[in-house]
Amino acid sequence: MLQGGIDTYSPCALYVIQIFHIRFFIWITIRINESQELHDIKVLTQLRFSLEVLVSVEYDIFVRRMEKLGLTQKNSRFYWPHYIHDMKKNPLGVSGKTHSDTMSKILADMLNTEQKIKFYKKITEISYQLRAEAFKQFKK
């Protein structure tokens, strides 16, 4: 059972998260051969997908495992609240109360041409690959 309901990252997980965030923020802020409009789509896509949707998916697995150790929704001060407020509850274009859903309508409104939709898909795939690479080192 975890003492006092305090949930913390392991040093190994902290390292993975730090490396991911450094690579992520370098990549997201650099505007390479793209218009300001496409750059805005890239930034919002990265923020929504990498730091909200994927975090929520990861936390879904993590909080279920932590429950077995005594860290429940009632006594979690970090993981459960972040899991709940980051998750995607609505499809792209439908606003909602979570962080992912708040950005959803804004992002969907920006995707008003085929070029922008293709760019969005490309950025989503890159976002996923960046996140997945951080965790590959732990695969047996």
SS3 call for 22? helix
Residue at 105 is within a domain: yes
Return the structure tokens found at 36.
């300001």
Cα–Cα distance measured from residue 136 to residue 77, given in angstroms and rounded to the nearest whole number: 28
Domain total of the chain? 1
Give the pLDDT confidence of 50-80 residue by residue, as tens digits.
888 888 888 888 888 889 989 888 988 888 8
Residue at 29 is within a domain: yes
Q: What is the signed CA dihedral for 133, 52, 8, 68, rounded to 10 degrees?
A: -90
Residue at 32 is within a domain: yes
Residue at 1 is within a domain: no
Q: What's the distance, CA 124 to chain centroid? A: 11
Residue at 76 is within a domain: yes
Residue at 126 is within a domain: yes
Residue at 109 is within a domain: yes
Cα 16-69-75 angle, rounded to 5 deg: 90
Q: Which domain holds residue 82?
A: 7-136
Give the pLDDT confidence of 1-27 residue by residue, as tens digits.
333 333 444 445 545 555 556 666 666
Residue at 13 is within a domain: yes
Task: Identify whether the C-beta of residue 8 lies closer than 8 Å to the C-beta of residue 79.
Answer: no
pTM for this structure?
0.71
